[in-house]
Amino acid sequence: MSDARERIIQRAVQEIEGGMIVNLGIGMPTMIANHIPADKDVFLHSENGLLGIGPYPREEELDPDLINAGKETVTVKDGGSFFDNAESFAMIRGGHIDLAVLGGMEVSENGDLANWMIPGKMVKGMGGAMDIVQGARNVVIIMNHVNKHGDSKIRTSCELPLTGEQVVSRLITDMAVFDFTDEGMVLKEVLNGTDIADIRDHTEAAFTVDSALAQKEDSR
């Protein structure tokens, strides 16, 4: 795992509280399962019909019948449950998911999310992301701050097809943490030893700085 991914995952774990029902999206979010402290009794949900997912399996624990929505093998904690796809989406659409942590391709300054397709690229299907971002009580997006070309993935408006409009509660990148409020996008935390000026240089979207963070930076 790259240092950037490690930082993002370690920060995302802090969003999870004991007793929560949490849906982890395909890709980087699924790695969070291995980093949740043992003393946090968390129920990980997968839209293919699992509640109570544990860490990734060791070789001796591999069971090809136990997979998550990304078709990766998983473990199931004691007391975990299995159900059909319709029941799983009833949980999502019924507002029973406390937190969804998903990956992102682009996020706009008003909380729009694009994470399901790139035009011209092969897409297996939209999956459950569109339902999840509408049904989960809180949606946290984790992604690199810039793409492989060095361009900001936090845009004034998304250019890729949208997964949902104004659905993002919090965005965690390898550089910063943003919240999305009625007043717009707010920088809440600076990560990885960077500073506010550097974040502005790497962020296309307009944002304000949380007053507590601004005071902390000014006191340095």
Q: Which two tokens stand for residue 130?
A: 């569109």
Q: How many residues does the chain have?
A: 220
The angle subtended at Cα 204 by Cα 168 and Cα 32, nearest 5°, is 40
Residues 206 and 109: beta-carbon distance below 8 Å: yes
Q: If DSSP codes are grouped into helix, strand and coil, which group holds residue 144?
A: coil
CA 182 to chain CA mean position, Å: 21
Q: If DSSP codes are grouped into helix, strand and coil, which group holds residue 202?
A: coil
Helix (H) or strand (E) holding 88: helix 85-93
- Residue in 6, 15, 47, 60 annotated catalytic: 47
Residues 185 and 169: beta-carbon distance below 8 Å: no
The single residue listed with the structure tokens 């544990």 is: 54
**Is 72 tagged catalytic?**
no
Q: Which residues are catalytic?
A: 47
